[in-house]
Structure 1
Amino acid sequence: MADTVYITGHKNPDTDSICAAIAYAELKRKLGINAIPVRLGDINKETEFVLEYFNIPAPEYLATVRTQLSDLDIDIISPAWPEVSIKTAWTIMKKNNVKVIPVVDENEKFLGLVTTSDITKKYMDMLENDIIAYSKTPLMNIVETLNAKLICGSQKDFNTTGRVVIPAMNPEEMGAFVSKGDIVIDGSKKETQIKAIELGANCLIVTYNGSVDEEVVELARKNKCILMIAPGDTFTTARLINQSIPVGYVMTSTNVVSFNINDFVDDIKDEMLRTRFRSYPVLDDEQKVRGFISRYHLISRKRKKVILVDHNERSQTVDGIEQAEILEIIDHHRIGDIQTGYPVYFKNEPVGSTSTIITNLYFDKGIRPSKNIAGILCAAIISDTIKFKSPTCTPMDINTAQKLSEIAELDIDRFASEMFRRGSSLRGKSLEKILYNDFKEVRLGKFKFGVGQINASDRESLSEIKDDLIKYMNDICTFKDYDLLILLVTDIINVGSEVLFAGREKSIAQKAFNVGAGEDSVYLNGVVSRKMQIIPQLAAAVQ
C-alpha cells in the first residue's frame, strides 16, 4: 500500500483549517494518493455544526509526526508456537537466514524468544537423561524430528520418564538397564523389542526402517507401548531425539527487552545502546508481534509525509514537524518560518480563505467536488470571510463560494445565519476554550505574541466574564512566556471586535490601537480580520 500522506491545518483549528484539510485529502484520493485529513486540536462549535450539517466525520486527532517504529521497515518474522521442536525452529531460522524467532500462544500473544544461541547452548548442555519428560515434549515432535512412521499409540499413551536407552546386551540382561516408562531405541531384533515392552518401555523406536513382527505390534498395543519406525540408524536416531524438545523449554521469556509499535524512535535509542542486543521484538497494544527492530533500522528511517494547509508557521503546525517530510503547503497567510530540506509545492494566494484555493485546485484538475465536500468548502469560505464582510475577502472568494453553493444546493444567507448563531455564544465555554478557539502564535522581531479570535454576537455575555478572561490571559502570558496576548471577540452581525490585551508588553497594543495607558480592551468598529487589521497594526507599533 502507498505511504499515507497526512493533511493538516493549524493548531486550535477553525472551520477553514478543518474543511480545507478534509477537502484536499478527498482530492488527493481521487488522484490516487493515500491521503487522510487530521486535526491538531478540538473542533469548535461552528465547525461541529458544519460537519454535522453535511454529514462528514471530524478528522482524527494527530498529536505528533515524530518518527515511530510503525514508520520503519522493520523485519517481519513469522512466530512459532511453544510446542514446536527445536529442530523445526532451527530449520526455519536457517531457511530464512534469521537468528531469532518469536514464540506466541494460541491467541498469537507474545510469550518469549528463541534464538540460535538458546538452541545451541541448551543442546550442548543437555546432560539430563529425562529431558524429554521434563520438557513435556509432545509425541508428534519425536515422530516429526525422526521422520518416523507411527505404528501404534497416541499422545494420551505417552507417559515416558524421558530416559532414552539403547540396549546393547542380551535380552535377558536388559532388566538392569530398562525401566518402566523408558524410551527404547533398537535395531531390528525381535527378542530385544519384546523384552523392552515386557519391561514396561513406554516407547519403542525401531531404526533402519526395519520391519516389525506382528507379534511385537500386538504386544505393544496390549501394553499401551508406543511403537514407531525411524529411517535412520540407531546412533543418528539417538542423536536426533533430543532435538524434538519444544522451543517453549529453551526460549527466553523473562527480562526480554521489547518495544511498542507506537514508540518513538528517539525514545528507544538509549535503551538499544544500553542493552546491545542483536534485535528487539516490536509488539502492538494487544501484545502481538509486529516484527523485530535492529540498530540498522534507525539509519534508514522513513519520515511521515505531511501536507500543510491554512498555515506555514512552525509554532502553528504539528509537533515533530522537523522529523516529517513536508510535501506541499497550501495557504493564504503571510510567509512564515517553516523550512524544508528541498523544494516543495507551495501555493500561497492573497484570498480570504484556504478553501477558496482548494476549490480551484479541484476545478484546475477538471474534478467537480461532491455535494457534501462542496458544502463544507462553501461553509469555510463564508466563515473565514465572515460572509464576505472581512477586508481579506476577494472577488475570487465570492465567486468560488457561489459556485460551491450551486453544487451543494445551499442558500448562503440562511446557512450563514444558522452557522454563526451556533458558534457565536460564549456562554458555557471555558476561558481556555474562548482564548484558544482560533489561536495563532506570532513572532514580530524579538517579541512573542499570541493572537486569538472568537465570534460572539452577544457582547453582554463577554462583559460577564471580561475581568476573569483578562486575568486568565495574564496568567497564560506568564506561564508560556508571551510578551503580549490579544483576543478578538468579533461581532459578525455588527461587524466589529472587542479587542482584549494582556502581558508585559501591553503598551504595544495600546500604541497600535490608540488607547490610553492602563486600558486592557477596546472596541474597534469594522475590525474583523486578525490577519489584515490586527497583526499589521502590531507590526507597525513594534517598529
Structure 2
Amino acid sequence: MSEQKVIYAIGHRNPDTDSICSAIAYANLKRNMGCENVVPARAGSVNKETKYALEYFGVEAPQLVSDIYPRVKDIAVKVQKSVKATDNLRTLGMAMKECNLRSIPVVDDENKLIGMASVSDLAKAYFQEITLDSVSASGACINDIANVIEADVLVAGNNEGKIKVAAACMEKVAESIKAGDVVIIGNRPESAFIKCIDLKVACVIITGNTTISDEVVAKAKAENVMILSTAFDTYSTARLISQCAPISSIMTTDVISFKPSDMLSDIKGVLEANEYRNYPVVENDKLVGIVNKDKFMMPEKQQIILTDHNELAQAVEGIESGKIIEVVDHHRFGGLQTSDPIFINVRPVGCTCTIVTNMYQQYGVEIPKEIAGLLMSAIISDTVLFKSPTCTQTDKDAVEYLAKIAGVDYKEYGMAMLKAGADIGDMTPAQIVKNDSKEFQIGNYPMLISQLSVMDTDQVMAMQDEILAEMARVCTAEGYAMSIVIVTDIINEGSYLLFSGEPKNLIGEAFKQDASKSVMYLPGVMSRKKQIIPPLSEAVKSL
C-alpha cells in the first residue's frame, strides 16, 4: 500500500538467465534515468545456471511475482484517522470533519480493529435522541463534559454525577435533584446556585457565561461542589453534552473487512451487496489500511515492462489485468495488442541483454560491475558461448565489452556457468518438462516447449520414458495439444527432441524425420527461437 505504485520489469514464466538478468539490468537503467519506481521481478523459480551467475556477482534474485491480478493492497490507502471506542461522539464528529471522512475505523490500544463508526451511525444516534441519562449511564465523567462544552473550571471537585437541567422554577427543580447530580443552570438568581450547592450536587454547570459572586464560589469550595462556566446557552449545552457518549455506544461491531492479499475479483460480490463506502483492511488483526468503494470501480492497473518475451501466453499470470508500457525483447512478435502506444525495442540478436547493453551505451549510463557481469552471463547463456546460430557479432562485441567491466575471462567463466546449469542433479521428470518452458501458439495448436542444456545427454535420455509420461500428463492437465522438450548437447552441438501429444505428423513435417517414436535427434540444432519455432510455424501451414 505504497503511495507510488511500482512498475515491474519482468521476464517470462519459467525464467532463464536472460529473463532474470535483463529484468535486473533494465530496471537499474530505468532508475538511473529517473524512473525510481521501476523494480525487477521474476515470474518463476531461479534455475541453477542463473543462481550461479547471481551468486558469482553478488546480486540478489528479483522478487517473485506469481501474478499481477489486482488485489486489495493495490487500491488500499493509509488510514487517515482512527478513533478509540472510549472517545466521545464529539471527537468522532470533529475527526470526520477534519479529514472529510464519512466513516472511521475504531481500534483498541494495540491498533486492532474493533468496529466502524459512520456518519449514518451518528445520524441515527441523534434521531434516536441520546438522552442526558444515557450519557450518565455511559460513564462519561464531568471532565469529559467540560471538554465538550469548552467550559472554564471555576471550582474543581468531584468528577462524576447524574446530569439534570434546571429549566423550571427552582422549587420544582429541587424536587428532582439529588446529592451527587450534575446540574445545568442558566441566568438565575444567586439563590438558585446556593440551593444547588446546599443539595450537595457534584457539579453546577453555569451556561451563557453567567457571572457568579465570590460568595457562591467560596461556598462551592467549602462543600466540594465543582463549578463549570460555559459560553453556550442551556439548550446548546445539553445538546453538546449528549456528544459525551462514547463511540462504543453507536459504532458497528459486525464489520466487513478485507486482507491486503484478497483479490478484487473475490470481493466484488461483497462490495455490490453492501452500501458501505469504506472498508477496513486488516492484517494479523491489525488495521493497515482502508479501501474505498469508488477505488474498486476503477482500480489502477499494474504497469509492466516485458523483458525477453512479448507473447501473453508466456507472461506473468494475470497480465490481462495489467498495463504493458514497454517491451525489450529479441523474439518473434506473437500478436501483442495494447490500448496505448508503448516503447518497444526488439532486435534480431541472440539475447535481450545484448539490447539492454546497447541501451546503456546509447543513453550514456555507466554499467556497474555486477550488472555488467549479469548482462554478460545472459548473453553467454542464450548464445551457448557463441555456439548458437542465433549469435550475432553484436552479441560477441557486447560480451567482450562487458567482460572488461566485470573483470572476468568470459570463456573460463562462461564454461563454468554453463556447466553449473547443465548439472541436472536430482531434477525430476516434472522439473525437466517445465525447465525454461514457454507457451507457443503454433497454428491452432497450443504448445509447451521446454529446453534443457547439458554437457552430456545420457543422464537425461535415460529418463526418456518417465519424461514422456510426464509430458503426456501435462498436455492433459493443462490443455496443451503438444509438449516438447529440447535436450541440447552443449559439447556436441545438437539436440534430442522429445514430444508428446498431437499432431505428431507436424513434428515429422517440420524436421523431415520419422515422428512415430516420440523422440528424434537434430544435429546442429541448439536454438528454440531460430531452429525449432520457425520450422514448426511453417510446417503447420501444410497440415
Structure 1 residues 91-130: aligned runs within 5 Å: 91-94=94-97, 96-126=99-129, 128-130=131-133
Please point out which of 526, 529, 532 is paired with 2:530: 532
Q: Are the equivalent residues in 2 in contact too, given 1:115–1:251 (CA < 8 A)?
A: yes
Q: How far apart are residue 63 of structure 1 and its match?
A: 2.4
Residues 167 and 184, structure 1, Cα contact 8 Å, conserved in 2: no
The normalised TM-score by structure 2 is 0.91
In 2 relative to 1, CA 68–517 (structure 1 residues): closer, same or farther, beyond 3 Å?
A: closer
Q: Residues 517 and 464 from structure 1, CA distance in 2 versus in 1: closer, same or farther, beyond 3 angstroms? A: closer
Match for residue 402 of structure 1 among 384, 400, 403:
400
Find the aligned partners of 2:67 and 2:222 in 1 and give their Cα distance: 70
Of 265-274 and 412-421, the range deviating more from structure 2: 265-274
What is the 5 A alignment of 1:183-198? 183-187=182-186, 190-198=190-198
The alpha-carbon deviation at position 317 of structure 1 amounts to 0.6
Please give the residue correspondences for 1:220-299 in structure 2 after superposition, counting only pairs within 5 Å.
Answer: 225-254=225-254, 256-277=255-276, 279-286=277-284, 287-295=286-294, 297-299=295-297
Q: Report the CA distance shift for 1:93/1:36 in structure 2 as closer, same or farther (over 3 A).
A: same
Q: What amino acid maps onto 1:228 in structure 2?
A: L
Match of 2:313 in 1: 315
2:412 equivalent in structure 1: 414
Deviation at 1:90, TM superposition (A): 2.6
The match for 1:445 among 443, 446, 451 is 443
Cα distance in 1 between the residues matched to 2:224 and 2:513: 103
Q: CA deviation at 1:169?
A: 4.1
SS in 2 for 1:454: strand
2:135 aligned with 1:132, yes or no?
Answer: yes
- The aligned counterpart of 2:41 is 38
| Pair 1:177 & 2:193 matched | no
From 22, 25, 32, give the equivalent of 1:23.
Answer: 25
Worse overlay, 8-17 or 141-150 = 141-150
> How many angstroms apart in 1 are the aligned matches of 2:283 and 2:443?
46
Distance in 2 between the 1:365 and 1:444 partners?
37
Aligned to 1:334: 332
CA displacement at 1:433 relative to structure 2: 1.9
Q: How much does 1:511 deviate?
A: 4.0
- Check whether the contact 1:452–1:488 (CA below 8 A) recurs between aligned residues: yes
Deviations, residues 452-496 of structure 1 (Å, cap 9, x unaligned) = 011222434224422211111111111122221111122222322
Q: CA deviation at 1:401?
A: 0.6
- The residue type paired with residue 529 of structure 2 is K
Contact 1:75-1:292 at 8 Å conserved across structures: no
- 2-structure distance, mates of 1:289, 1:225: 46
Q: Secondary structure at the match of 1:41?
A: coil
Residue of structure 2 equivalent to 1:502: 500
1:78-93 equivalences in 2 (<5 Å): 78-93=81-96
Amino acid at match of 2:85: P
Q: How far has the Cα of 1:213 moved from its partner? A: 5.2
Q: CA deviation at 1:191?
A: 4.4
Q: Distance in 1 between matches of 2:178 and 2:139?
A: 19
* 2:66 equivalent among 63, 73, 96: 63
Q: 1:7 aligns with which of 6, 9, 14?
A: 9
Structure 1 residue 141 corresponds to structure 2 residue 140: no
Could you say what secondary structure the match of 1:441 adopts? Answer: strand
Q: Quote the residue 1:457 is aligned against.
A: 455
Equivalent residue number for residue 347 of structure 2: 349
Please list every run of 5 or more consecutive structure 1 residues that lacks an aligned counterpart in the other structure. Answer: none
Deviation at 1:292, TM superposition (A): 4.2
Query: Do the aligned residues in 2 keep the contact of 1:510 with 1:519 (CA within 8 Å)?
Result: no
Paired residues of 2:208 and 2:234 also in contact (CA < 8 A): yes
What TM-score comes out, normalization by structure 1 length? 0.91
* 1:368 maps to amino acid: E
Shift in CA distance, 517/436, structure 1 to aligned 2, threshold 3 Å: closer
Check the 8 A contact 1:449/1:485 in 2, yes or no.
yes
- Aligned ranges 1:342-381 → 2 under 5 Å: 342-381=340-379
**Maintained 8 Å contact 2:17/2:49:** yes
Distance (Å, rounded) in 1 between the aligned partners of 2:91 and 2:422:
69
Provide, for residues 69-113 of structure 1, a one-character-per-residue CA deviation record: whole Å limited to 9, x for no partner: 444486964233333332343344345544323323334333322
Asked whether the 8 Å contact 1:351–1:394 carries over to 2, the reply is yes
Question: Is the contact made by 2:52 and 2:420 (CA closer than 8 Å) also made in structure 1?
Answer: yes
Q: Aligned partners of 2:437 and 2:156: how far apart in 1?
A: 77
The structure 2 residue matched to 1:466, chosen from 464, 467, 477, is: 464
State the Cα distance separating 1:198 from its structure 2 match.
4.8
Mapped to 2, the partners of 1:500 and 1:392 lie a distance apart of: 22
Query: What residue identity is the alignment partner of 1:203?
Result: C
Alignment check: 8 A CA contact 1:262 1:284 kept:
no
Cα contact 1:76–1:292 (8 A) shared by 2: no
Task: State the one-letter code of the partner of 1:148.
Answer: A
SS in structure 2 opposite 1:181?
A: coil
1:209 counterpart residue number: 209
Residues 427 and 461 in structure 1, CA contact (< 8 A), matched pair in contact too: no
Partner of 2:55: 52
SS of the residue corresponding to residue 283 of structure 2 reads coil
1:164 maps to: 164
Cα distance in 1 for partners of 2:45, 2:130 equals 64
- For residues 94 and 130 of structure 2, the distance between their equivalents in structure 1, rounded to whole angstroms, comes to 23
Aligned mates of 2:531, 2:235 — CA distance in 1: 93
Q: Is the 8 A contact 2:167 2:173 kept in 1?
A: yes
Can you list the C-alpha shifts for 1:377-427, whole angstroms capped at 9, x where unaligned? 000100111111101000100000100000010111221122122221222
**Partner of 1:302: helix, strand, or coil?**
coil
CA distance in 2, matches of 1:127, 1:6: 53
Instruction: Supply the RMSD in Å over aligned alpha carbons.
Output: 2.6
Counterparts of 2:146 and 2:428 in 1: how far apart (Å)? Answer: 71
The offset of 1:54, in angstroms, is 1.0
Instruction: Work out the CA distance in 2 between the residues paired with 1:375 and 1:222.
Output: 87
**Would the alpha carbon gap of residues 143 and 397 (structure 1) be closer, same or farther in structure 2, given more than 3 Å must change?**
same
1 CA distance for matches of 2:101 and 2:501? 61
> How many angstroms apart in 2 are the aligned matches of 1:494 and 1:517?
22
Q: Does the 8 A contact of 1:259 with 1:280 survive in 2?
A: no
Using the TM superposition, name which of 508-517 and 236-245 deviates more. 508-517
1:239 deviates by 2.7
| Contact 1:165–1:182 (CA under 8 A) maintained in structure 2 | no
CA distance change for structure 1 residues 67 and 18 in 2, over 3 Å: closer, same or farther?
same
- Aligned length, in residue pairs: 536
* Superposition deviation, residue 150 in structure 1: 2.5
